[in-house]
């Protein structure tokens, strides 16, 4: 059985850092002892690690334990969730005899912020075309100019990020390198943005919790069979048998952790699905997977070296599984008075994923064309129509 004290001690011993607030260590190592020992942030730096070495992650853990099935709570409380000093965009779950640990690299949080900003630009552009372009307008020159500007708004930040990933890989450190990676469009609601970043982090932490709770990290570990069954049954209903057949056990566990994380965040594991939770899980999962895919350049599966099997499915597959899961869970939900439905949000996020993928692919492959905004926009309209057809089909009796 894991003990929180043991889990915490093990993390700090392994990374050879003092047992204190992550940010205090980080600033000290950056030569800003003045900030750490000054009065201004004294209260913040004085927060000592309990479930995490970072106050924000401590909040995320508290939230996840709150919404977790009761059989999971005690074990989750004994896992130490660390903000790790490594700058790569990654997370990891590990276990030792009496210690359960989750590490979320500092670089992943930076990636969560950057890709949430990229999605904000993309979303703003879609909104602009939706509300300001009249395609029936006879003044087609003006329409074209607006579309050109919108394409720049949406795609320039993505292109700048695409150029940065080589440097990130070489330095093994993610960081913002262009103003459009940090500056939000003027009308983007700051709170929505912060909620998205938090959801992205929550999804990744929930994914790692699921590795522990579904018994992936410790075979001795007595995970709750009932909850595990809920996750597996949901996966069986997604029509992904063909995909699973081609995968090794490591890859299947990744999909289990993705699906488990989504089910935990949406409230499904405790029969408390809420619309607001669905939106958060949709945003968190898609932006997280797009960020990880792009930074690791892992959209398509690569040939594994002999004796070195691929441990993760490619991200196009992971995104496809999430899409099927969201559809399965939300198609029966009512459309809100103002026309909103989680599937509408999913369509925007899939279009965003497509643009990031195409931008990346067109850089490395001369046969792939760079994305064009109007094509993406009309794909979204088609998807919207398809949703309506299926949605109405669900409502009407045979
Ligand atoms: Zn994983």
pLDDT of 141? 84
Task: Return the axis-axis angle of helices 275-296 and 190-213, rounded to nearest 10°.
Answer: 80
Residue 208 Cα, ligand 1 centroid: separation in angstroms? Answer: 6
Separation of CA 262 and ligand 1 centre (Å): 13
Q: Residue 254 has what pLDDT?
A: 94
Beta bridge partners of 84: 105
Q: 385 C-alpha to center of ligand 1: Å?
A: 34
- Return the pLDDT at 213: 93
Distance, CA 254 to ligand 1 centroid (Å)? 5
**Nearest-angstrom CA–CA distance, 6 and 20:** 15
Using the mean position of ligand 1's atoms as its centre, give its distance from the Cα of residue 97 in Å.
20
Centroid of ligand 1 to alpha carbon of 336 (angstroms): 34
Report the predicted TM-score, pTM, of the whole model to 2 decimal places.
0.93
> Hey, what are 183's tokens?
């500056």
Question: What pLDDT shows up at residue 224?
Answer: 77
pLDDT tens-place values along the chain, 398 residues long: 899 999 999 999 999 999 999 999 999 999 999 999 999 998 899 888 899 999 999 999 999 999 999 999 999 999 999 999 988 889 999 999 899 999 999 999 999 999 999 999 999 999 988 887 777 777 788 888 888 999 999 999 999 999 999 999 999 999 998 989 999 998 888 999 999 999 999 999 999 999 999 999 876 666 678 899 999 999 999 999 998 998 999 999 999 999 999 999 999 999 999 999 999 999 999 999 999 999 988 877 655 555 556 778 889 899 999 999 999 999 889 998 888 899 999 999 999 999 999 999 999 888 999 999 999 999 999 999 999 998 888 766 65
pLDDT at position 263: 98
Ligand 1 center to 182 CA (angstroms): 27
Ligand 1 centroid vs 235 CA: distance in angstroms?
Answer: 16
- Distance from the CA of 245 to the center of ligand 1, in angstroms? 19
CA of 305 to the centre of ligand 1 (A): 20
Residue 206 C-alpha to ligand 1 middle, in angstroms? 10
Distance 285 CA to ligand 1 centre (A): 13
The residue to which tokens 């997604």 are assigned: 238
Distances (CA, A) of 277 to 119, 212, 333: 19, 22, 13
Alpha carbon distances (Å) from 81 to 56, 160, 201: 11, 32, 12
Phi, psi (deg, nearest 5) at residue 311: -95, -20
Phi, psi (rounded to 5 degrees) for 3: -125, 130
Q: How far is the CA of 337 from the centre of ligand 1 (A)?
A: 38
From ligand 1's centre to the CA of 67, what distance in Å? 20
């Amino acid at each position: 059985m894991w003990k929180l004290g043991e889990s915490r001690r093990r993390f700090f011993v392994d990374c050879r850092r003092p047992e204190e607030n992550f940010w205090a260590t980080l600033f000290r190592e950056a030569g800003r002892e003045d900030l750490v020992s000054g009065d201004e942030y004294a209260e913040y730096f004085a927060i000592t690690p309990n479930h995490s070495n970072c106050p924000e992650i401590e909040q995320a853990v508290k939230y996840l334990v709150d919404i977790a099935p009761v059989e999971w709570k005690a074990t989750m409380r004994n896992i130490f969730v660390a903000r790790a000093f490594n700058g790569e965009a990654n997370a990891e779950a590990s276990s030792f005899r009496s210690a359960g640990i989750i590490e979320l690299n500092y670089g992943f949080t930076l990636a969560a912020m950057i890709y949430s900003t990229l999605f904000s630009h993309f979303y703003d552009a879609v909104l602009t075309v939706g509300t300001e372009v009249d395609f029936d307008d006879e003044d087609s020159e003006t329409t074209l100019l607006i579309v050109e500007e919108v394409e720049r708004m949406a795609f320039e930040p993505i292109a700048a990020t695409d150029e940065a990933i080589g440097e990130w890989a070489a330095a093994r450190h993610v960081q913002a390198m262009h103003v459009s990676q940090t500056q939000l469009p003027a009308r983007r609601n700051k709170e929505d943005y912060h909620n998205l970043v938090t959801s992205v982090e929550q999804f990744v932490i929930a994914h790692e919790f699921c590795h522990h709770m579904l018994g992936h990290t410790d075979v001795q570990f007595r995970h709750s069979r009932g909850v595990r069954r809920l996750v597996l049954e949901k996966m069986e209903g997604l029509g992904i048998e063909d995909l699973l057949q081609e995968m090794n056990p490591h890859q299947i566990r990744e999909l289990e952790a993705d699906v488990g994380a989504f089910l935990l965040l949406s409230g499904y594991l405790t029969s408390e699905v809420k619309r607001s939770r669905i939106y958060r899980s949709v945003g968190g999962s898609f932006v997280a997977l797009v960020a990880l895919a792009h930074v690791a350049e892992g959209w398509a599966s690569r040939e594994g070296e002999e004796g070195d099997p691929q441990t993760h499915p490619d991200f196009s597959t992971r995104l496809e599984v999430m899409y099927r899961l969201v559809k399965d869970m939300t198609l029966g939900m009512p459309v809100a008075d103002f026309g909103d439905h989680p599937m509408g949000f999913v369509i925007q996020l899939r279009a965003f994923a497509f643009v990031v993928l195409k931008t990346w692919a067109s850089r490395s492959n001369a046969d792939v064309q760079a994305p064009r905004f109007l094509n993406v926009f009309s794909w979204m309209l088609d998807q919207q129509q398809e949703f309506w057809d299926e949605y109405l089909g669900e409502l009407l009796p045979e």
